[in-house]
Structure 1
Amino acid sequence: CLITQIVTGLFLAMHYTADTSLAFASVAHMCRDVQFGWLIRNLHANGASFFFICIYLHIGRGIYYGSYLNKETWNVGVLLLLALMATAFVGYVLPWGQMSFWGATVITNLLSAIPYIGQTLVEWAWGGFSVDNPTLTRFFALHFLLPFVIAGLT
């Protein structure tokens, strides 16, 4: 699953533009004008959902067989799940449609609930005082790098 996601993601990254005024158009260009771009994008998007299904089945198996008793292994698995969820979230933002924009706004604003440093964390994640171009650039960089980090941890 991870290899498929990385390979399709690399092909998509060749045509993606991480700019708020061009991101949506670059995704539309991939789907309409790039040969088999629609297929690669759908494999990447639906592959993420399939990846989560596999992960949840793996977690269920781990719970059934008592793998959580090995604390180090279980904790690494939890960290990998969190990294996978972060990767999926920042990938969801990249097409820069209305759902992507407001999803980024709402989810990153959850950081503001952290006492004392919450608002600072939100502004750091945004790269300014609102979700804008720096946010999209950071999310693209994270979405590109996190799968390699996940692959390195497995």
Structure 2
Amino acid sequence: VNWGWMLRYLHMNGASFFFIAVYIHIFRGMYYGSYKKPRELLWILGVIIFLLMMATAFMGYTLPWSQMGGWGATVISGLFTAIPLVGDSIHTLLLGGFTVDNPTLNRFFALHYLLPFVIFAVVGIHVWALHITGSNNPLGIDVKGPQDTLPFHPYYTSKDTFGLGVFLLCYVGVTFFAPNLLAHPDHYIPFNPMQTPA
């Protein structure tokens, strides 16, 4: 595939950098107390988005069918067997059999493709909930009028544009000059169910 190496590295590092941005967003929300009343629904929706993102990233991690991905799928899917009564059924349904094999890869690929659309829908609800309650701020001041706010442009647009530029510069720098910085060498070894990663 022409430029396939670039697409793979952009996608692989893009997922890692996307999680960096999400962690910054979560820690900002925790620092500002955005989980407190009246923004509980907003926080719960954020947690749902985070869990869906983790599921999507995990399934994408297994798709190269490497030692790390295959054994990661084996270990993480095995956690479902700890659920009383229905755990074994969930495990078999998720894997498409009793072990990680081709049906697992097909199911994980389908879910890796479909879950971002679910995430997009929940993000829409998350933004709607934000507009209902309003944004939180570091001072904890409830907005009562225009005197309590700043215009979005030019204050926030210039700050956000600068932050986005620095973030994208780091992302492009890692992707093109150190593409395996956030990867493990075993991720390039084909999956062998008879040998665990070192």
- Tell me which interval the TM-score lies in, with the shorter structure as reference length: 0.7 to 0.9
Q: Tell me the residue number matched to 2:3.
A: 36
1:59 counterpart (9, 23, 26): 26
Counterpart CA distance in 1 for 2:28 and 2:98 is 43
Counterpart CA distance in 2 for 1:74 and 1:124 is 31
Q: Tell me the residue number matched to 1:31.
A: none
**2:50 partner amino acid:** L
- Could you say what secondary structure the match of 1:67 adopts? coil
The Cα shift of 1:104 comes to 0.5
**2:122 partner amino acid:** L
Q: Tell me the residue number matched to 2:119.
A: 150
The Cα shift of 1:47 comes to 0.4
Higher-Rg structure is: 2
Identify the structure with the greater helix proportion. Answer: 1
Alignment of 1:51-90 (within 5 A): 51-69=18-36, 70-90=39-59
**1:113 partner amino acid:** A
Structure 2 gap ranges (5+): 124-198
Counterpart CA distance in 1 for 2:54 and 2:108 is 13
Which one has more relative contact order, counting CA pairs under 8 Å at least 6 apart? 2
Equivalenced residue count is: 121
Q: Pairwise CA RMSD of aligned residues?
A: 0.8
* Aligned sequence identity (%): 60
Structure 1 gap ranges (5+): 1-33
Q: TM-score, normalised by structure 2?
A: 0.60
Q: TM-score, normalised by structure 1?
A: 0.76
User: Which consecutive segments of 4 or more residues in structure 1 shift more than 6 A?
Assistant: none
